Amino acid sequence: MSVVGFDFGNESCIVAVARQRGIDVVLNDESKRETPALVCFGDKQRFIGTAGAATSMMNPKNTISQIKRLIGRQFSDPELQRDLKSFPFAVTEGPDGFPLIHARYLGETRTFTPTQVMGMVLSNLKGIAEKNLNAAVVDCCIGIPVYFTDLQRRAVMDAAQIAGLHPLHLIHETTATALAYGIYKTDLPESDQLNVAFVDIGHSSMQVCIAGFKKGQLKILGHSFDRSLGGRDFDEVLFHHFAEKFKVEYKIDVYQNARACLRLRSGCEKLKKMLSANPEAPLNIECLMEEKDVRGFIKRDEFEQISIPILERVKRPLEKALAETGLSVEDVHMVEVVGSASRVPAVMKILTEFFGKEPRRTMNASECVARGCALQCAILSPTFKVREFQVNENFPFSIALSWKGTAPDAKNEATENQQSTIVFPKGNPIPSVKALTFYRSGTFTIDVQYADVSELQAPAKISTYTIGPFQSTKSERAKVKVKVRLNLHGIVSIESATLLEEEEIEVPVTKEPEKESAKMETDEASNDAVPPSSNETDENMQDAKGTAADPSGAENGVPESGDKPVQMETDTKVPKKKVKKTNIPVAELVYGAMVPTDLQKAVEKEFEMALQDRVMEETKDKKNAVEAYVYDMRNKLCDKYHSFVTDSEREQFTSRLQEVEDWLYEDGEDETKGVYIAKLEELKKQGDPIEERYKESTERGSVIDQLVYCI
């Protein structure tokens, strides 16, 4: 079983793997630890990750980046609309109201969903892990921002499936960091809690979490975030600053040219990084537009001045995190800063002022999320022994269920109205299961929704579940138990519905009930103990206590709560109340999620595209082999093989090699793999006998040498 962690960043991704001696960040094909999160579509193939970055400047309109911003969001989302203004590629609204990315691929314009594109990047990361581990990678943990909605979480799961991955856990990025921080600490207190604030400022967003550490465990006390505050915002400020300047100084409008925009943005990012280490920095870009070289310069003071609107927003998530946890600044014992955008000195100044202490950088700011993900995967994997360390996660949103029900109105008459209840309040542990009891005469629907949309850029409604059909044999309004699960990934779903019918049967009783069935009773009692009291509405909700309990099926026939097992000494038959449990079909409709048939199609499509990429890579290899043979043989004919060919043979072969070289740059530039293989074989037919003669002679020579030596 593979143990791999992926940090899928908005700008770059990191892959960490668990080995017996610890967690390693692995290198990609270019021996780099960070892999750009982008896909460049070409005429013949895709270039993903580092290969994509190499071609992005030549092909900006077909280079898809910042996929994390697009995934699982509606096209009309105001944040997405704002982002699109600076993206060099085209995005339109699909028929389902979700974004469709346009790119020229294999000679025609095609559309892709953000989930598909994320699948492509994940599949590239999977390949990096596989190459390093020399084994297939399927099981993994993937980091996600804490603010990801239900739909975004589902989209990541779909993207992973497209890539052939099976995430055991989508883990909040800041929680992964907290895990990577705590698990190696040997000095954690036994009883007093050590409170640490983790601040992650990445490419596009800022996340804060406060975690309480004790020996062997961490508890997330609260999360906060700003979904649109990251390093790219500083680049954007610089970009607009210089774009305006160049309009006046050089009479060029970079906004009109996608490539110039891309190059200026990239220049501004470099400039920003320089300003983190220097009080001033220059900007020089050759031939930016209309063949004009541009020059600029900015001091850190001025950069901070023009960045005030961004810097002013850094404090808010910090305040929210404290409010969320009910802690004061003094209660936060340490502050750990991660995410590469936190390197901006002005940001560090704000953090220091806010917490009244110097934030620390003991974590590897760019790798801690991936390391935490790999650690989490190792904890979940049976193949690794990891130090005992418990992670108590905390869900950032309140989730409610809503349904049509009857309740007494002012005149005490039953009327039908929409009712709702919060099943998972903000701060609920993850994972968690809750059960609700409904009294219904036939098929009914339940909506799952966010209880408070003020912090979200998402519609309130997440999904609708249709429960039924079912037929009650007894009363008109049957008792239906509905189980709702907040799973390890933070995705909510109604996982089952059970019809509960009391029936009286004769039970032969010969001896005391065994311990096992008594235990099941206890489980049952705690799951569904309180019967509705007369003045309550017809729906009741109780906690299902155990987080991962799965009491379905197994308890069939176990007495309902309140029924104490009957103890009899003699063999006799007694009438006994039993609860008959029947599973009711549950149909799920998640708004905006991929349906299984579409997901299957996307998996097949990815397979096709990956095959195309592989064929093209192999074609390139074969073409290079022909070219290499031409150069190598030409050199050898004048050197090593000189005395093994006649002059005319050499002349003829050299001119043949020249012909093939010319062909490679002209008619043969764009041939199929088979053609290159045939060409190489044809050349070898002529070259191999020469090579053979040379080898024979050197072998004979070495025998003679040895004889001479013996004499």
Distance, in Å, from the CA atom of 179 to the CA atom of 377, rounded to the nearest integer, reads 12
The closest of 63, 79, 202, 49 to 149, measured between CA atoms, is 79
Query: 447 and 461 in contact (C-beta within 8 Å)?
Result: yes
The closest of 313, 303, 368 to 340, measured between CA atoms, is 368
Least Cβ distance, residue 235 to ligand ATP (angstroms) = 6
- Which CB sits closer to Mg ion, 202 or 317? 202
Least Cβ distance, residue 13 to Mg ion (angstroms) = 9
Q: How many residues bind Mg ion (CB under 5 A)?
A: 2
Least Cβ distance, residue 274 to ligand ATP (angstroms) = 8
Least Cβ distance, residue 335 to ligand ATP (angstroms) = 17
- Which CB sits closer to ligand ATP, 175 or 381? 175
Which long-range CB contacts under 8 A does 90-98 form with residues at least 24 apart?
A: 90/61, 96/592, 97/592, 98/73, 98/74, 98/592
Distance, in Å, from the CA atom of 256 to the CA atom of 43, rounded to the nearest integer, reads 25
Residues 6+ apart with CB under 8 A from 296: 242, 245, 246, 271, 282, 283, 284
Query: 33 and 128 in contact (C-beta within 8 Å)?
Result: no
- Which CB sits closer to ligand ATP, 10 or 381? 10
- Which CB sits closer to ligand ATP, 340 or 376? 340
Token couple for 363: 């974590």
Least Cβ distance, residue 347 to ligand ATP (angstroms) = 8
Q: Which does 49 bind (CB under 5 to 8 A by kind): Mg ion, ligand ATP, none?
A: none
Q: Which does 73 bind (CB under 5 to 8 A by kind): Mg ion, ligand ATP, none?
A: none
- Which CB sits closer to ligand ATP, 205 or 402? 205
- Which CB sits closer to ligand ATP, 346 or 520? 346
Query: 170 and 490 in contact (C-beta within 8 Å)?
Result: yes
The closest of 418, 518, 520, 411 to 460, measured between CA atoms, is 418
Radius of gyration of the chain (CA): 33
Strands 63-64, 217-226: pairing is: unpaired
Least Cβ distance, residue 147 to Mg ion (angstroms) = 13
Please choose, out of 200-208, 217-225, 380-388, 528-536, the segment that lies near Mg ion by the rule CB under 5 A.
Answer: 200-208
Least Cβ distance, residue 79 to ligand ATP (angstroms) = 13
Q: Which does 493 bind (CB under 5 to 8 A by kind): ligand ATP, Mg ion, none?
A: none
Q: Which does 232 bind (CB under 5 to 8 A by kind): ligand ATP, Mg ion, none?
A: ligand ATP
Please choose, out of 7-15, 236-244, 324-332, 494-502, the segment that lies near Mg ion by the rule CB under 5 A.
Answer: 7-15
Q: Which does 205 bind (CB under 5 to 8 A by kind): Mg ion, ligand ATP, none?
A: ligand ATP
Give the 3-state secondary structure of residue 362: coil
Q: Which does 341 bind (CB under 5 to 8 A by kind): ligand ATP, Mg ion, none?
A: ligand ATP
- Which CB sits closer to ligand ATP, 338 or 458? 338
Type of residue numbered 269: E
Token couple for 214: 């004790």
Residues in the site for ligand ATP, rule: CB under 6 A?
9-12, 68, 202-205, 230-232, 269, 272-273, 276, 339-341, 343-344, 366
- Which CB sits closer to ligand ATP, 277 or 529? 277
Q: Which does 153 bind (CB under 5 to 8 A by kind): Mg ion, ligand ATP, none?
A: none
Q: Which does 174 bind (CB under 5 to 8 A by kind): ligand ATP, Mg ion, none?
A: none
- Which CB sits closer to ligand ATP, 9 or 72? 9
Residue 589: CA count within 13 A, CB half-sphere: 9
DSSP-derived secondary structure letter, 619: H
- Which CB sits closer to Mg ion, 9 or 167? 9
Distance, in Å, from the CA atom of 486 to the CA atom of 393, rounded to the nearest integer, reads 12
Q: Which does 394 bind (CB under 5 to 8 A by kind): Mg ion, ligand ATP, none?
A: none
Token couple for 273: 């990084």
Q: Which does 11 bind (CB under 5 to 8 A by kind): Mg ion, ligand ATP, none?
A: ligand ATP
Query: 125 and 133 in contact (C-beta within 8 Å)?
Result: no
Least Cβ distance, residue 73 to ligand ATP (angstroms) = 14
Least Cβ distance, residue 359 to ligand ATP (angstroms) = 15
- Which CB sits closer to ligand ATP, 230 or 559? 230
49 binds Mg ion (CB under 5 A): no
Which long-range CB contacts under 8 A does 379-385 form with residues at least 24 apart?
A: 380/141, 380/168, 380/169, 381/1, 381/3, 381/18, 381/139, 381/168, 382/1, 383/1, 383/3, 384/3, 384/18
Least Cβ distance, residue 225 to Mg ion (angstroms) = 12
Q: Which does 613 bind (CB under 5 to 8 A by kind): ligand ATP, Mg ion, none?
A: none
- Which CB sits closer to ligand ATP, 273 or 636? 273
Helical spans, DSSP H, in 488-595: 515-527
36 binds Mg ion (CB under 5 A): no
- Which CB sits closer to Mg ion, 9 or 49? 9
202 binds Mg ion (CB under 5 A): yes
Least Cβ distance, residue 365 to ligand ATP (angstroms) = 7
Beta bridge partners of 310: none
Q: Which does 485 bind (CB under 5 to 8 A by kind): ligand ATP, Mg ion, none?
A: none
What's the angle, vertex CA 606, arms to CA 604 and CA 610, rounded to 5?
A: 120
Least Cβ distance, residue 343 to ligand ATP (angstroms) = 3
Give the 3-state secondary structure of residue 408: strand
What's the angle, vertex CA 392, arms to CA 524 and CA 18, rounded to 5?
A: 115
- Cα dist from 218 to 177, 212, 392, 469, 646, whole Å: 11, 6, 6, 44, 79
Burial environment of residue 605 by CB neighbours within 10 A (0 to 12, 13 to 18, 19 or more): middle
Among positions 461-500, residues that touch Mg ion (CB under 5 A) are none
Query: 126 and 610 in contact (C-beta within 8 Å)?
Result: no
Token couple for 2: 């593979």
Query: 3 and 169 in contact (C-beta within 8 Å)?
Result: no
Least Cβ distance, residue 124 to ligand ATP (angstroms) = 15
Distance, in Å, from the CA atom of 433 to the CA atom of 583, rounded to the nearest integer, reads 17
Closest chain position to Mg ion (CB): 202
- Which CB sits closer to Mg ion, 198 or 444? 198
Which string of x and - marks every residue 8-27 that binds Mg ion (by CB under 5 A)? Answer: -x------------------
Q: Which parts of this chain interact with Mg ion (CB under 5 A)? A: 9, 202
